[in-house]
Amino acid sequence: MVSIFLCYLLFMLSALLMLGSVITIFSTILAEIDMLENVEIGEQKRRNEAYEAAKKKKGIYDDK
C-alpha cells in the first residue's frame, strides 16, 4: 500500500514539474510577443514622425 502511495506522489510531483515547465515556456513566449509589439509600436512612431516632418517640409516622404 505504501508503494502505491509513493508512486502516486511521484506521479503528482512529476505532473506539477511539467506544469511548471509549461508555465515557464508560455511566460517566455508572452515576453517575446510583448517585446515584438513594443518594437512594432516604436517603428510606427518613427514612421509617423517622419511623415509629419515630411509634411512640414516641401519634399518627398521617405518611409524607412
Give Cβ neighbours of residue 61 (< 8 Å, ≥ 6 apart). Answer: 50, 51, 54, 55
Average model confidence (pLDDT) for the chain? 83
d(CA 26, CA 32): 10
Is the pTM above the cut of 0.75?
no
Tell me the C-alpha distance between 5 and 38, whole Å: 49
| 63 within 8 A of 47, measured Cβ to Cβ | yes
Percent of the residues in the chain that have a pLDDT greater than 70, as a whole number: 86
Residue 59 is predicted with a pLDDT of: 59
What is the rounded distance in angstroms from the CA atom of residue 35 to the CA atom of residue 38?
Answer: 5
The average pLDDT across 26-53 equals 91
Which sequence spans correspond to the domains of the chain? Answer: 21-55
**Cell matching residue 17:** 514539474
